[in-house]
Structures are given as C-alpha cells and as structure tokens.
Amino acid sequence: MSSPLLSVRDLSVAFHTDDGVVNAVNDISFEVHPGETLAVVGESGSGKSVSAMALMRLLPSSARIQGTIEFDGRDLLGLSPRDMRRLQGNEIAMIFQDPMTALNPVFTVGNQLVEAIRIHNPKVSKRAARERAASMLALVGIPDADERLDNYPHEFSGGMRQRAMIAMGISNEPKLLIADEPTTALDVTIQAQVIEVIKRAQEATGAAMILITHDLGLVAGVAERVQVMYGGRLFETGPTETIYYRSRNPYTRGLISSIPSATARTERRLAPIPGAPPSAINPPKGCVFRPRCQHATDECFTEPGLRRLDEAALHQSRCHYAEQLGEMDTAASGSRT
C-alpha cells in the first residue's frame, strides 16, 4: 500500500467545562491513503465530529489536543495558524452538515466560490476564477451554472446549497475531503443526488475522503474502510465488508442489528442495544460499552486495547473477546428471543 496521506497518532481531545473534563476523543490512531474513502461511524457523542474538527484545527481554544496529526509530511498540530489557513480549503477541504451555516448569506454563491479559489491562488484572474467557479457548479449538477453564480444562498434549495458547498470544497482540488454528515439534513431523493455528486467530485479530483456519518446505509455504498467509534474511542476498524459481515465487536454488531431493513420482511423484530450511550464526563469503568454489552464479564472492568485480527492489522477491534466473537454468526449475534 502507498504511504499514507494522513496519519493520526494517539489523538486525544478534552474540553474543560463547568461540569468537569469531557474526554471527547481518547487515543485514536488511524491513517488515510491517497484517493481512498474512510467512513467514520458512530452515534451522537462518539467523538466522530470532534476528531475531524481537530484535524482541521477548527476546535475552540479551550480544547486540549494531544497526539500527532501528520498530513502529507507535515505535522498539522505544529503548523502556525497562517500555514494552517493555507491548507484549509486548499489541500484539505471540509463539507459540513448544514450548508446554510457554511455559506455567507450576504454574498452571492459566485462571490464565495471565486474567493475560495483566489484566496489560495492569488495569481488567478477574477475572470478565470469565475469560469472555474461556473465549471465547478456544473460539475456538481447545478443547471445554468453561469447564471446561478449570481444567486444568493437563500435562492438555492437545500440540495443545491449542499452542492455549492461541495463545489467550493473541491474547487482547489484538495487531497483530502472531510465530509461531516453531508446528507443528513437532506431528503432521501436529494440525498441520493448529493452522494452521486460527491462520488463524482472525488473521482474528478482524486481526493481521499473521510466520511463522518451515523448512517450505516450510506457507508455501505461509499466507503472502502470503516472506523466505528463509541464513547470517544475507536472500537473497530476494517474493510467495509469485514465490518458489515465479519465484525468482531459487540457494539458494531449491535449497531448493525438495530437498523430496520428496507428489504427485509416486516415481521423481523429489531435487536436494539439496551441502555444509552455513555457520558463523556463520567464514563463507565473499564470498557465503555460494558454496561450495554450482553457479552460483558468481570474482565471487562479493565479497558481492552485494540486487538489486531489479521496480519496486516487492517481489521482491529477493541474487545477482550474479539477472537471468540468471531465464531458467532454476525446476523444472529444481536438477536435475543
């Protein structure tokens, strides 16, 4: 495999609040290779968005960040704010869940696209930048792109705004695209359009992508590798098919068996995970999933490490019983009758 584009080592993020220290992300390590799509999956409070914000250095100054983030040979946490700004929106771009908060309502879409292009390429003329902006909008499937550049964000529908933001994100041909719940606010038919656009944009630019989502359906069709987070920890990581069909983690399995299927018959009963996700301030002792885990034993009062499940360490799981779980049938593991 090629050398990684992004290499995160032992990343931890903590916030000091009035209620105590929130350990939002604990010691996560992962790599992203050029051109690949890595999905980061988790429920609310799992730390999936915070870790992406840490990569982009978008967290408030109250956040304590530890660890190393190496992007294309540079240490991101050591970069000056000025150098970091050169990377943001250029080599690394981010697509947010809510495009209305990311687009400035008082400037036209064209203005913002042109600015995004010229800020990183000052030598490009306004006219050339506008031409590029129009071709970007056309690439993301906005009809009459040239005229649409003169619209304000409020004149765009939700799906179009999201496309405009994708256009902005890829306008400088980033090496890495971070998409944080890019379709969560959209209707199903629009979501399908936007996913198609993201795939097309990624193909056109060859960018690697980190897709942050709670939607396991979305992940199944887009990602090559999946990383499951829970309670601020990396719980399992592996190739997409491995995670869906040969997961060796009770949380991942529980998550998959919780999803109602649009293809299955209606009589099947869902197998939810009991209880609720842990508090980040006062997490359970030992394995953070222990209180909800049906396989938990006394051993689980000590925190498990990530166990390698193959030689290349592509598949790793944070569970004392990762190997034993492997003997079970994934589909049946979650169901209790």
Output the smallest distance, CB 308 to another protein, in A. Answer: 22
* Shortest Å, Cβ 66 to another protein: 27
Nearest residue (CB) to another protein, 221 versus 305: 221
Interface ranges with another protein (CB under 8 A): 43-44, 138-139, 141, 143, 157, 159-160, 187-193, 195-196, 199-201, 203-204, 214-221, 240-241, 244-245, 254-256, 258-274, 276-277, 336-337
Which tokens hold the place of 105?
């309502």
**Tokens representing residue 188 in the block:** 């199903």
Say how many C-beta atoms besides its own lie within 10 A of residue 250's C-beta: 28
Question: Nearer to another protein by C-beta: 123 or 336?
Answer: 336
The residue count of the chain comes to 337
Q: Which is nearer to another protein, 29 or 258 (CB)?
A: 258
Q: How far apart are CA 16 and CA 32, in angstroms?
A: 29
CB of 125 to another protein, least distance (A): 25
Of the two residues 83 and 144, which places its CB atom closer to another protein in the complex?
A: 144
Considering beta carbons, is residue 76 or 271 the nearer one to another protein? 271
Encoded tokens for 95: 């697509």
The beta strand positions in the chain, using DSSP E, are 6-17, 20-32, 37-41, 63-71, 74-75, 92-95, 176-180, 208-213, 225-230, 233-239, 306-308, 316-318
- Closest listed residue to residue 50, CA positions, set 266, 280, 310: 280
3-state secondary structure of 292: helix
- 247 three-class SS: coil
- Is residue 246 packed enough to be buried (19+ CB in 10 Å), middle (13-18) or exposed (0-12)? middle
Smallest distance, another protein to C-beta of residue 321, A: 19
CB of 81 to another protein, least distance (A): 34
Closest approach of Cβ 317 to another protein, in Å?
18
d(CA 190, CA 143): 15
Query: Shortest Cβ distance from residue 20 to another protein (Å)?
Result: 17
| Three-class DSSP category at 147 | helix
* Nearer CB in complex with another protein: 62/263: 263
Q: Dihedrals φ, ψ of 11, to 5°?
A: -75, 125
- The least CB distance from residue 315 to another protein, in Å, is 15
For residues 134 and 276, give the distance between their C-alpha atoms in angstroms, rounded to a whole number: 47
7 vs 227, beta carbon nearer another protein: 227
| Sheet order of strands, 233-239 included | 92-95, 176-180, 208-213, 37-41, 225-230, 233-239, 316-318, 306-308
Nearer to another protein, 11 or 238 (CB): 238
